[in-house]
Amino acid sequence: MPNFRTKDGLLEEFSIELRDNAYGIKSYTTPVVLAEQPPSAESVVVLLSGVKITIKLDTAGYTVRSDIANGSLVDKRAEKAFESLPALLLAQSPEFNHAMHNLLSARLLALQGEGEK
């Protein structure tokens, strides 16, 4: 589960997670605080498919805030809380899954190439 006690810690964690997973999403907004106690924040994320979703982070984890985003149905698997942003994105976006696979494969090939020198 997310480990934060203040709104600043929450925003820092959310921002880092979005930045670290930017390879698999089109764009995202800077997270904004929804409530200070208990802390919660949200960011609008555009998936590689072009679907726009609002992701909320609170003490329960990462969730998609609604079951409909811009007229597109959001996958029901994303209604539950996820321990990490990548877990939510993997459940929501096949394109994210593909991008993560490509990134990991490229890193493994790079490591393999370094080992052969």
Which class for 49: exposed (0-12), middle (13-18), buried (19 or more C-beta within 10 A)? middle
State the CATH number of the domain containing residue 31.
3.30.2280.10
Residue percentage of the chain with pLDDT more than 70: 84
Domain carrying residue 44: 7-115
Q: Is residue 92 part of a domain?
A: yes
Name the nearest CA neighbour of 95 among 42, 56, 46. Answer: 46
Q: Is residue 87 part of a domain?
A: yes
Instruction: Determine contact, residues 63/56, Cβ cutoff 8 Å.
Output: yes
Q: Is the pTM of this model over 0.85?
A: no
Which two tokens mark 39? 């802390």
Q: Is residue 88 part of a domain?
A: yes
Q: Which residues contact 46 (CB under 8 A, 6 or more apart)?
A: 25, 26, 27, 28, 52
Q: Is residue 1 part of a domain?
A: no
Q: Is residue 2 part of a domain?
A: no
Q: Which residue has the tokens 């764009």?
A: 27
Q: Is residue 110 part of a domain?
A: yes
Tens of pLDDT along 85-107? 999 999 999 999 999 999 999 99
How many domains in the chain?
1
